[in-house]
Structure 1
Amino acid sequence: MIHFLLTPDKAATRRLRRVVATQHPGLGVIVGTWPELLSLATKNYLLPPRQDNWQPLLETSISALPDAFWSASLAAAPTEVPSIASVVGRQLVQLLEAVGPSGNLGQLPQSDLPGRTLRYLSDLLRLHTAMGNLLPVELATIKSLLNLPETALLRPIQVYHHPEHPWLNRWQQALIDRLKQDAHTEDPALADLLHTTCVEQPTAPDTTTLGYLQRYLFTSATEPVQQDSSVQWLAVRDYLQEIEVAAGIIQTALDDNPDLTTADIALLLPNDQNYHSAVVSVFSQAGIPLSGLDAAVPVRDLGSEAVYHLLLSLDKPAPIMALASLLTSPLMPWDKATGHQLALKVINNVFKLEAPEGFMEQGKAMLDLFRERAATLADLKRRLKRFPALLNKDDIYKDSLNRVQSLCTSLLTFLETYQQQEIPWLGLKALATPRLVPGQKQNECTLQGVAVFHEGEEPWRQVKCLFVLGCSDGHYPAGLSAGSLFIDAELEALNTQHGLSLETAAERNARQRQQIRRQLCSAGQSVTFLLPRRDPQGKPLSPSASVTFAEALLADPNKMICELDSVAGRQAAFGLPLVTDAEAAPPRCPEPVDLRFDKNLLELGKREDGSLKPESPSRLEKLMVSPLAWLFERLGVESRDWAPEDLDVMSKGTLAHEVFEKLFAPGIPLPDSSQIEELVPVLFDEIITSTMPFLKRSEWKVERKHLQQEILKAALQWREILHQTEAKPIAVEIGLKGDFEGIPIHGNADLLLELPDSRLYVVDYKKSGSNDRRLRMKTGYDHQAELYRTMIKTGGLKEPDKAPEGLADKLTDIRENGEIGTMYYLLNDQTALADTTGWLSGSIGNLEEMQANVSVNAMNLIKERFAQIRQGVVELNTTADEKEFKNKRGISAYALKGNSLVAMWLNVKLED
């Protein structure tokens, strides 16, 4: 015969096994939980095999049943069938459990209950009927065991169960009754052992506050007591400080009391993964061993992530971060550095996914797999079949690879049953959505080490000191979950009218309170409760209900909680290690001092032939604003942040530039207004498809339309300016090079405009307004005008062989016989600003000639910077520079914002 002692959870099992092993050892004695008992019963009776069809039949029936209370949810989220089925199925199972093996579910809708309740009951009954009155696998197994004849018994099982510990539904109780009936005899000694471990047994003297809590917490005791050192409540900042404070008190207690060991101490942790991870980290650093943490920290499901990101990447336009995540997945058939480089190109809006030189064929095949959109169901199926075979086959990723194979098979099965031609992207993504999976358990139960108890579980060891962490609202007792469609009044009515055993929220809460008292009874000397005042996001937290009930038992509840962020609170706490007073010292701050090096900084990063690296107008603007930012860029010391797609100013400018390049290109007639209105939407669509495909997604519709209208408005005005000035485009996005102060310079001009009388405008489109640019030109701080003029005069075309035919000769002629000017076209307010004088008629709308030397101060500043960095001197910025450049020179000091290291080294300058 088997003697089975039934326990509510694995922690209680652990404790009772130790008691049985020391007080009543013997053969055939098993201690375990309900799942273990059910498994044992199926092995000791001649039970025919069963097939579990509950979940698939439940999902099918829920989808097919019309006019049910879940129909609206299903219509709104057709891909969420498994989730909806889980909620509805759980309620159906609760009703079946409450009816019991001899009950009749069909009688429930006949109850004298409100209409809402009757509708829910009627729909659940219709669902069960549609399922052929199928039972979930556990109830079906119990039913089979109950219906077996005595001759099917292989070995009797005597079950020992203490009432309400654990709480059993009618099916479970019926099976236990059957097992007891077949076993006939029981061992009274085992029954006594089970009873002693299940009953609340206060371990602290009743003269102490702890003893009083163990006996009367959550009751209406009328005689408050004075708080003593056996209990304390410490309020701290957050969960991490809770754990650090507990570790500090434990270290101090172990040092001060030689008779105290780690086995005499326990932690009670709430159901919050943050605590489990932090306890491991903090106690490891503190050198305090743990016993029974028994928590598997969730880990990433790399397999699901890879398949999910593959689906996102195949459903073009793909989100940038999804594509980058797929490229950097450790399951990809390339190394980490290669994946990072490929992803960096995607982050920079380069979607060609070109294989690096010397790339393996497996890697090339993988890039080919998700470079283009999956256009048809057949194409998608082919790629899903191919994907697992191309992944990294390292043994450390064996589980993840199996997950990929399993998930791809599930997706293919789903597609085989799909009747329509369009790819069901939403359904596929819902099936492949990544979830955290349990990792390996971090800690085993040992004799030595601080014991770890868990909220909702029985204590498994008797200790002297207990630390209860996470005493905030929703813990001790745990918050009520939305596990029932019915309120307590409806459940009580069903229980009363039909004799059911549906557990109400109040009954569940009462059981949780009893368990908390049993957890407190595990400590014989002291309990320390720790209250976090804020959650990990900094939001305020309310105390646990147990704290409120404890206050009612104390004579002076106002002094109950010690706030450790106050001196008085720290002094009132027991056993808290306090650091010795130290003189406050200001944090170490950088001391900004101009940098001096023993070399010409312009020689950094020379080309392979030894020539100096050329400077561009944008880099020289950075040099003007911040030599330190220029140096960091020269050295490659810049952050390369990954972020989701964003339609920022730079992106808008890029799109507008490309539309203008195609609309006002050389060699084609100037389009009229109607042609521009037709061409802009077409060109804009082509360009976002090739450069920023994320804008084609529905969530960007408003921004896309708004930007298109801005570009159209600017194009119409630019067309009028070109028409009235008789200017002719001769090159777009053309590379120029030259020499300034002995330093090679280069840059790309957006447009070259030829005017009559051998005059040339170098045009720069700006996706901004004209106010700052006008101020900049008036104050002489526009460097681009003179730099482009200098490039044409001292050099010319950067790549003559790629330039339009005859352009080099034309530039030579203008350089020798003509004039060169610069024009900015500010797209936001459709204004053109030129650095020339008397070239244009004064009647041209929205076009201004500044009639001043717009670059004189900028060029002098660049010369000054060149002189400094040739001497190795880097002048640091001040806190006033950003406002100075903006308000007095019209320059937005992006160089001071783009690198956090620059901001760290600002000299403080008091404003006038």
Structure 2
Amino acid sequence: MRIDPLLTANPITGAVRYVTDDLLRETYLAPKPCDLDLIATLEGRNAPWSASFEAAPAETTRAIEAALTAVVRSTQSLSPTELDVSALPECRAKTHLAALKELWKDLGSLPEPLAAWARVICSEAKDALEPLPILDPSPCPHADAAEAALVEALTRQHGAAPEADQTSWRQRQPRGDGSAVGCYGMVQEHLGTATNPVDRDSTVSCFGLRDPRDEAQFAAALAQRMLDDGCVDGPGEIGFLVPDDPAYMLAMQEGCERLGLPLAGAPEEAARRDLTGELLSLLLVLLSVPAPRTALASLYISPLMPWARDVGHQMAREVMDYGWSKTASQLTGSAKELLDALHPSHTPEQLFARLGAIDKSLPDTDLQPRIAPLRAVTRETLDWALLHKLAVPHQVDATGHQRFVEGVSLFTENTLPWRPVRQLLVLGMNGNRWPRSPGSDPFFTEAEVALIRQNTGLQLNGRRKKLARGLELFRRQLCAGTEGLTLLAPAKNLLGEPLSPSTGLALISHMLGFEKPTDLVQDVRALPRDQWPVAWHVTPHLSHGFRAELPEDGILRLNRGLGTPDKPGIDLLRIRHDDAGRILPQSPSRLESLLVSPLAWLLDELDAKDRTWAPETLDVMTLGTIIHQVLEDAFPENAPVSAIDALEATLPDILDAAIKKHARWLSGASWATERQSLLGEALDVARTWAGFLNETGATILHNEINLAGDHGGLLLHGKADCLLQLPDGRILVVDHKRSGAGNRRDRMSKGWDLQVALYRAMLQRPNEETALTRLVDDGAQIVTAYHTTRDATVLSDDLGAGLARIEAASRDVSENAMSHLADAVAEVGAGTVRLNREGDAKRFEKERGIKAYALEGNPLVAAFTLPEEDQA
């Protein structure tokens, strides 16, 4: 593609305009462009790509469209008759090129803007409504055949602009060969060519920053420093060359606005999200499969929804945390109608009826223009892949340019600078840009491109030619500066992912004699503050109750000085309350976190948790919940155990019901393999549990029974999975665990199992009467046990000795855990939090048999973790 834009100068006024596709269509009265029905033409076609198209129609269609466009642009007449594949030997390249030629002929039309170009090329001067003399008709070495033919046709029909107009225009543009001195001048002249390293000087510098936002703030500060030091006479002599990325544009505008720097070249209207397209894409997801959690949350926070913004965010938080939203269930009116329509659709009638109902519930949004193309391509069945492709949102590009003399110049990645500057700052020198990698062509290899060029004369652009154009464009962009070049290299992108040096940074660093690109980069944050090239300001520390270092003894004393001598500090056990103001009880799982990490427990009490959105995954908790539900439904209360054959026959339906209740998304077609594996696991668990019940003669009294009580004044609540009555009258309180018995057995043998003791405490000192507490009052002996489903083992406390099929402990399984819990409760009750040390996770597993889940994946806990005492 051309590097220099195609321009025309009005023969009367001399006004310069870009030769845009719209201008050509209007001047030559070209027909209104229409979208190519490429998918319909590809269906049922016998072509080399047919198998790929059948397997992945959307991706294959995009690749075919790109290849066809490249072939068309490589011809001068924009006609398939120009393609002569007979000169090629029998090979893959000939097969694919011939297939593209036949496809071109069958389509009968060209994609835009090639249709308008073809109109111009086959027209005469009298066909144009106005003259379009070309300002600079000189050939561009990087123009493809179609671009060259377009320039030749326009020049033949309208001629070139007067020499005086051309000279006046060139004087206002940056020089293409550069005018800087020293290292900068060598970079401008020789970038991308072989040259000896040059002596380094101050005309080229490179600074490393954290991310694009840091870059933008640093660039604005450096520009202000140049103005303050008199390096330039005004903002117009400074230029920013930035990647074509809305994030960079926004960051640059914010950074310059913060310092009061006028920014010339920013778009008049920034790029905007296609909110309607985003909504329709979300609706297609929600109407095609059981609602994924992230899709539903995204719908809740859409600005187009018929509820307030804060309500939408509350609903999104709830659905991400719990899988459903209480707030959403309480909506009424049009909001309720919208949510009621969100059910999977199996027929076109269902889909478009539900889309119509949703459209009616959105009075300020008109979805019909976007729904109509979906309806037009839908026949008897729903082609979801095609519908998703048609509904994909497209960013609304930025429009116009605010170019004025007094501002700092903003240049973008894919265009030439619009005026010269003295100091040029280039952002984004790490990552895939300057120039962007052309990538691999899925149709033709580099060798096949060369073969086609040699035998047919078709000038297809290969990777080397695309890269050469990108490098030349970058070199021309660097020529906008006349005195100094500053390169900025971000270590990470805005997602926190590390970035590698760009090709341009590697070439420049090599020209300056550095072995590696990173040797050229000077990390700003690694410099002493007094050596920073810009002014800096550090936010002062908070003075009240703030310490810059962690306490040496590893104990945080919260709220010191606010308590009384008898009770210094705040009782952290009393910070969670229900809506009525009552203190919420602690569960066994929360107190197990307290044993492992008091800080992790406190953050959970404060609901200070990671809110990162993530899609549903078949994780351990989800699998455990489903298996629990299967056991509850397959073995109902006060009913005899089903025969194995009957159990196996009903279990698929039981599993489906459990999935719909706890993980509806798992019933989608894409999870079929996982469901089959889960069914096999459920069958194994059900068989072994039925065997245990039959051999022990146990009767199921209750499933999912609530427990509530207290221990030493500490309110407790929990839930037992299963309550069994054994033939000897003993009651077995069972907790199903989807795991093996190894870790649990190790924990119990070392006296660190907390849950058993807390169950016993809630039974001995209950807060409410239940069927289980009545049994305890009647003198029944209670045995607490774990059923580990992965190896069909039942582990019980020491009261289960002598029971068949039960592995009973020989000691108090909670002795150490309860002793440690008493100390931990006393500490947090006094407002103190004991921090973890780096080796705690391994130490807990080795010495206590406890897997320290509370220490995993919590950046706040990690930030407050102390080194080992011998390393401190």
Task: Report the TM range for the smaller structure's normalisation.
Answer: 0.7 to 0.9
- Give the CA deviation at 1:488: 7.8
**Partner residue in 1 for 2:380:** 419
Which residue matches 1:408?
Answer: 371
Deviation string, structure 1 residues 568-615 (Cα, Å, up to 9, x no partner): x999xx9956999xxxxxx93333334465565555456677765444
Task: Tell me the alpha carbon deviations over residues 289-334 of structure 1, each in whole angstroms, 9 at most, x when there is no partner.
Answer: 3221449764433222222222222223332212222223222222
| Displacement after TM superposition at 1:689 (Å) | 2.3
1:428 aligns with 387
Contact 1:312 1:323 in 2 (8 A): no
Partner of 2:14: 29
Matched, 1:824 2:790: no
- Which residue of 1 is the match for residue 338 of structure 2? 366
The one-letter code of the counterpart of 1:361 is G
2: CA distance, partners of 1:701 / 1:274 = 39
Q: What is aligned with 1:68?
A: 47
- Give the corresponding residue for 1:448: 406
Corresponding letter in the other structure for 2:46: D
Q: Distance in 2 between matches of 1:380 and 1:868?
A: 58
State, as a whole percentage, how many aligned pairs show the same letter. Answer: 29
Q: CA deviation at 1:447?
A: 0.7
Query: Please, which of 263, 267, 272 is the counterpart of residue 236 of structure 2?
Result: 263
Could you tell me how far 1:528 is from its partner in structure 2? 4.2
Structure 1 residue runs of 5 or longer lacking an equivalent are 1-6, 21-25, 394-400, 581-586, 801-806
Equivalent AA in structure 2 for residue 99 of structure 1? S
CA distance 1:41–1:750, shift in 2 (3 Å) = closer
Measure, in 1, the Cα distance between the counterparts of 2:289 and 2:411.
49
Count residues with an aligned counterpart: 841
Q: Which residue of 69, 73, 85 corresponds with 1:109?
A: 85
The one of 301, 315, 318 equivalent to 2:291 is 318
User: Where does residue 802 of structure 2 map in the other structure?
Assistant: 840
TM-score (norm 2): 0.82
Q: CA deviation at 1:486?
A: 6.0
Larger-gyration structure (1/2): 1
- In terms of mean alpha carbon deviation, does 899-908 or 339-348 score higher? 899-908
Indicate which of 640, 661, 670 corresponds to 2:641: 670
Letter of the aligned partner of 2:76 in structure 1? Answer: A
Does residue 910 of the first structure (1) align with residue 860 of the second (2)?
no
User: In 2, distance between residues paired with 1:139 and 1:610?
Assistant: 70
| 1:32-51 pair list within 5 angstroms | 32-35=17-20, 39=23, 42-43=26-27, 47=29, 50-51=31-32
For residues 313 and 469 of structure 1, what CA distance do their matches in structure 2 show? Answer: 40
> What is the match of residue 647 of structure 1?
618
Q: Is the 8 A contact 2:710 2:767 kept in 1?
A: no
Change (3 A) 1:378 1:550: same
Once the two structures are TM-superposed, the CA of residue 706 in structure 1 deviates from its matched residue by: 4.0
Residue 98 to residue 891, structure 1, CA distance change in 2 (3 Å) = same
Paired position in structure 1 for 2:72: 93
What CA distance in whole angstroms lies between the structure 2 residues aligned with 1:560 and 1:780? 57
Task: Give 1:231's aligned amino acid.
Answer: T
- CA, structure 1 residues 861+297, in 2 after alignment: closer, same or farther (shift >3 Å)? same
Task: Verify the 8 A CA contact 1:63 1:81 in the aligned structure 2.
Answer: no
Residue by residue, what CA displacement relative to the aligned partner does 1:794-815 show, whole Å, maximum 9, x if unpaired?
A: 44865x5xxxxxx47xx53652
Q: 1:655 to 1:562 in 2, by over 3 A?
A: closer
* 1:822 partner letter: T
Post-superposition offset of 1:661: 1.6
**Secondary structure class of the residue paired with 2:415:** coil
CA distance in 2, matches of 1:244, 1:390: 43
- CA–CA separation in structure 1 for the residues paired with 2:593 and 2:153: 81
- Is the partner of 2:36 in helix, strand or coil? helix
More displaced 10-residue stretch of structure 1: 741-750 or 104-113: 104-113
The one-letter amino acid of 1:823's match is A
1:291 to 264, 277, 283: 264
1:643 deviates by 2.4
Which string of whole-angstrom CA distances, capped at 9 and with x for unpartnered residues, describes residues 186-232 of structure 1? 74432443565689576748x755556656666678xx796474732
Deviation at 1:108, TM superposition (A): 1.9
* Contact 1:821/1:834 (<8 A) preserved: yes
Take 2:107 and 2:282, find their aligned partners in 1: how far apart are those partners? 36
For 2:648, what is the secondary structure of its paired residue? helix
C-alpha separation in 1, matches of 2:124 and 2:584: 93
1:563 aligned to which of 520, 526, 529 = 520
Paired residue for 1:762? Answer: 733
Q: Which amino acid aligns with 1:736?
A: L
For 1:220 and 1:610, the matched residues in 2 are separated by 76
Structure 1 residues 413, 385: CA separation in 2 closer, same or farther (over 3 Å shift)? farther
Aligned partners of 1:865, 1:140: CA distance in 2, in Å? 77
Change (3 A) 1:515 1:594: closer
Q: Find the partner of 1:728 among 661, 683, 699.
A: 699
Q: Does 1:343 align with 2:300?
A: no
The residue type paired with residue 178 of structure 1 is Q
Q: Which amino acid aligns with 2:730?
A: R
Cα shift readout 1:667-710 (whole Å, capped 9, x = no counterpart): 21123333443343332232112211233345544544444444
Corresponding position of 1:56: 36
Instruction: Map 1:867-886; keep pairs closer than 5 Å.
Output: 872-879=830-837, 882-886=841-845
TM-superposed deviation, 1:348: 4.7
CA contact (8 A) 1:230 1:525 kept: no
CA contact (8 A) 1:227 1:560 kept: no
**Using the alignment, how far apart are the partners of 1:225 and 1:285 within structure 2?**
40
Q: CA deviation at 1:750?
A: 1.6
Please state how far the C-alpha of 1:364 moved relative to its aligned partner. Answer: 0.9
Q: 1:243 to 1:378 in 2, by over 3 A?
A: closer
- The 2-side partners of 1:485 and 1:435 are apart by 26
For residues 190 and 856 of structure 2, the distance between their equivalents in structure 1, rounded to whole angstroms, comes to: 61
Whichever residue aligns with residue 136 of structure 2, its letter is H
Distance 1:339 1:113, change over 3 A: same
Aligned residues of 1:332 and 1:392 also touching (Cα < 8 A): no
Please tell me whether residue 540 in structure 1 is matched to residue 500 in structure 2: yes
> Structure 1's 113 and 177: CA in aligned 2 closer, same or farther, altered over 3 A?
farther
Q: What TM-score, normalized by structure 1, do the two folds share?
A: 0.78
Question: Are the structure 2 counterparts of residues 230 and 201 from structure 1 closer, same or farther at C-alpha, using a change threshold of 3 Å?
Answer: farther
Q: What CA distance in whole angstroms lies between the structure 1 residues aligned with 2:117 and 2:268?
A: 31
Q: Which residue of 2 aligns with 1:163?
A: 138
How has the CA–CA distance of structure 1 residues 389 and 590 changed in structure 2, closer, same or farther, with 3 Å as cutoff? farther
Structure 2 CA distance, aligned partners of 1:904 and 1:210? Answer: 44
2:192 and 2:867 map into 1 onto residues whose CA distance is 60
Which amino acid counterpart does residue 75 of structure 1 have in structure 2? Answer: E
1:524 to 482, 501, 507: 482
Matches within 5 A, 1:395-794: 401-402=365-366, 404-415=367-378, 418-420=379-381, 423-439=382-398, 444-470=402-428, 479-480=437-438, 518-528=476-486, 537-541=497-501, 543-544=503-504, 547=507, 551=511, 563-565=520-522, 576=533, 588-591=548-551, 592-595=555-558, 597=563, 598=567, 602-605=573-576, 613-794=584-765
Structure 1 stretch displaced more, 236-245 or 113-122: 236-245
Question: Cα gap change, 1:511/1:177 in structure 2, threshold over 3 Å: closer, same or farther?
Answer: farther
Secondary structure in 1 aligned to 2:556? coil
Aligned partners of 2:208 and 2:523 also within 8 Å: no
1:300 corresponds to which of 266, 273, 276: 273
Q: Is the 8 A contact 1:217 1:550 kept in 2?
A: no
Assess, with a 3 A threshold, how the Cα gap between structure 1 residues 852 and 413 changes in structure 2: closer, same or farther.
same
Partner of 1:396: none
- Offset of residue 86 of structure 1: 2.5
Secondary structure at the counterpart of residue 465 of structure 1: strand
Summarize the Cα distance change of 1:775–1:530 in structure 2 as closer, same or farther, 3 Å threshold. Answer: closer
Q: How far 1:381 sits from its partner (Å)?
A: 1.2
CA contact (8 A) 1:769 1:828 kept: yes
For residues 322-362 of structure 1, the C-alpha deviation after alignment (integer angstroms, 9 at most, x for no partner) is 222222322222223333443344335545878544x3311
Alpha-carbon distance between aligned partners in 2 of 1:747 and 1:248, rounded to the nearest angstrom: 57
What's the counterpart of residue 329 of structure 1?
302
How far apart are the structure 2 equivalents of 1:125 and 1:638? 58
Secondary structure of 1:99's partner? coil
Instruction: Give yes or no for contact 1:98–1:501 (8 Å, CA) kept in 2.
Output: no
